Amino acid sequence: MREIQFREALREAMVEEMRLDKSVYLIGEEVAEYNGAYKVSLGMLEEFGSERVIDTPIAETGFSGIGVGSAMNGLRPIVEFMTFNFSLVAIDQIINGAAKMYQMSGGQFNIPIVFRGPTGNAGQLGAQHSQNFENWYANTPGLKVVVPSNPYDAKGLLKTSIRDDDPVIFMESEVMYGDKGEVPEEEYLIPIGKSKKVHEGKDVTLVSFGKMMKVAEEAYIEAKKENIDVELIDLRSVRPIDYNSIIESVKKTNRLVIIEEAWPLASISSEISHHIQRFAFDYLDAPVHRITCEDVPFHYAPTLIKEIIPDVGKAMKAIKAVTYK
């Protein structure tokens, strides 16, 4: 099977859907003339023209509002944020517009819109450019939140998201756009809300999503060296969360570790921890452990960045704690 980059998988998903459906269009900063800040939309202006690949000013509130309004009128916009840190400027359009319109209109208006772009830290970009908002958006009824970890999932999930009749938050990562992975040439879709069991195991369940799957994969390899059999689950989406798959795994392993890049309070990992203690408490042989970013604004100094983000060392410490090694 061919290997393509993460950015190419995203581009293929958008191009294929735009060829299939003329109501789909892309809008955002530098998506057209510059081919996207991360070259995700390379060549799309040339193929689809300026009416369907639309450059905007630096005005997230404005172009997000255009997206919501056009979705109410039968189009399927893909709104690209240069980073989800900048989505905070448009959060009223997303939370009070896109997420609530179906309910507030009594079912008269679906909002088939995708908000996509990178989330999380990418090194020395400063505190205001290095945040994770998956849990913020996942807190909102009316939204679906997708966080792929590899090119195969990125393409299949983005195609599904574009076809969805409800608003989807689709979160990527600057440091993953160059990652390569196997992606079939034939069409495929991946359902939103269904996790993937990456590795079978019997000693401990390890759950993660998005960029943190890199840390989880490293931890899986290190644990194997110490004869700890890890069952690794990639959530793929965090609203909805595939709780059933986690519960079934915990029933087998009796232990759970969760890796997440966001801050600890009111996070995806805390929600999963609650759900497991509520519905699988009798199967647990150890407390649930989670690894998150430290509860501080993101640092600039590389030495401090290393201290606050999840890594394989912290993951292994948690795995050993729940397995009493």
Q: Indicate which residue of 129, 218, 275, 294 is catalytic.
A: 129
Residue 38 has phi, psi (to 5 degrees) of -115, 20
pLDDT above 70 coverage of the chain, percent: 100
Examine the pLDDT at 127 and tell me if it is beyond 90.
no
Convert the pLDDT of each residue in 165-217 to its tens digit. Answer: 999 999 999 999 999 999 999 999 999 999 999 999 999 999 999 999 999 99
Reduced to 3 states, what is the DSSP secondary structure of residue 24? strand
- Whole-number average pLDDT of the chain: 96
Residues 259, 145 within the same domain: no
Residues 264, 178 within the same domain: no
Q: Has 275 been annotated as catalytic?
A: no
- Residue 123: band (very low, low, confident or very high) from pLDDT cuts 50, 70, 90: confident
Residues 59, 142 within the same domain: yes
Average pLDDT on 2-28 reads: 98
What CATH number is associated with residue 126? 3.40.50.970
Residues 137, 258 within the same domain: no
Distance CA 48, CA 138 (A): 32
Residues 205, 316 within the same domain: yes
pTM, 2 dp: 0.96
Examine the pLDDT at 144 and tell me if it is beyond 90.
yes
Measured CA to CA in angstroms, residue 70 lies from 41, 137, 180, 236, 256 at distances of: 21, 21, 34, 28, 43
Distance CA 63, CA 54 (A): 10
Q: Give the residue numbers spanning the domain of 234.
A: 196-323
Residues 102, 212 within the same domain: no
Residues 208, 249 within the same domain: yes
Residues 137, 253 within the same domain: no
Q: Indicate which residue of 17, 60, 80, 260 is catalytic.
A: 60
Q: Are 119 and 86 in contact (CB under 8 A)?
A: no
Residue 125 has what pLDDT?
A: 83
Q: Has 231 been annotated as catalytic?
A: no
Residue 168 has what pLDDT?
A: 98
Q: What is the CA radius of gyration of the chain?
A: 20
Convert the pLDDT of each residue in 270-284 to its tens digit. Answer: 999 999 999 999 999
